[in-house]
Structure 1
Amino acid sequence: MRYIVNGSCVGCGLCTGICPEVFTMTDEGVAKAIDEEVDRDLATALDAMQNCPVQAIEAQE
């Protein structure tokens, strides 16, 4: 599973707080997914996606 943060991100940091293994903040103040495929069962990544307040996280198989 690969996660992508789209242009809707407002930089709240929720995803990096929940799952720093997959998400990081950029110098521009928005989140970015680490460019690595992650274990499909990584519950914290899914939790971050489901709890994003602006639905900026997408998952790709």
Structure 2
Amino acid sequence: MNNFRLELEFIPDHVAIEIEGITFTNCAFLKLLIDNQDLCSSQNFEAGLVVWDELKRSLKKVDVI
């Protein structure tokens, strides 16, 4: 049986990280770990970044929310 864990990683405003050409500061990431491996570091999910504000805007465009 696989172990499933979520971790919340805070990025303060004085730290900047870049993922897929997007710079992030003053935010939080919800990391999904399966068997202690970060799913986003898996080759199958390298492009698995979801930005909440962008997701909300996309859903509004199709009248889902």
Q: TM-score, normalised by structure 2?
A: 0.19
What TM-score does the superposition give when structure 1 sets the normalisation length?
A: 0.20
Q: Which has the higher strand share?
A: 2
